[in-house]
Amino acid sequence: MELNVDELLLAGTEQRQTAFHMAAQNNHTEILQKLWVWTEEWQLNTNELKKKCYQPDKNGNTAWHHAACCGKLEALETLWSLDNEVELKLDELLLVKTENGITTLHMAAQKNHTEILQKL
């Protein structure tokens, strides 16, 4: 059986959370960076694939939402840095809404993560 690396990188749980979601919510910045590097090592570094790395989970939460909700500033800074490499628009990522209409900024505010709000 041959492994399909892009499928492996984007594999999700029942809630459709990918490795990017889990690394962000647990502030595992080294894992976020390694996941990003893997896409380059396997020549999967197209902008489209990297955008898919931030696909929403079952509730519409992106890796950005998970990091903001859990107060993981370093993870957000890492995501921001990685996104700048492929010129994703930060304002668009911050305004992505969950199924309940909640943005990354809303999540940080609801959880009173003032340090994150100041940074964003």
The 8-class DSSP code of residue 51 comes to: H
Location of structure tokens 């898919």: 52
Hey, what amino acid is at 66? H
Instruction: Please give the pLDDT value at position 6.
Output: 63
Location of structure tokens 């992505």: 96
pTM, two decimal places: 0.79
Of 78, 91, 87, the C-alpha closest to 25 is: 78
Instruction: Please give the pLDDT value at position 43.
Output: 64
| Domains along the chain with CATH numbers | 5-119 (1.25.40.20)
Instruction: Please give the pLDDT value at position 101.
Output: 94
List the chain pLDDT tens, one digit each, 120 residues: 565 666 666 777 788 888 888 999 999 999 888 888 877 676 655 566 566 667 889 999 999 999 999 999 999 999 888 877 766 777 777 788 898 999 999 999 999 999 999 887
Instruction: Please give the pLDDT value at position 52.
Output: 64
Instruction: Please give the pLDDT value at position 37.
Output: 80
CA distance 86 to 48: 10
Instruction: Please give the pLDDT value at position 25.
Output: 92
CA distances from 104 to 2, 6, 42, 76, 81 (A): 37, 26, 30, 10, 16
Q: Do residues 72 and 24 lie in contact, with contact meaning Cβ atoms separated by under 8 Å?
A: yes
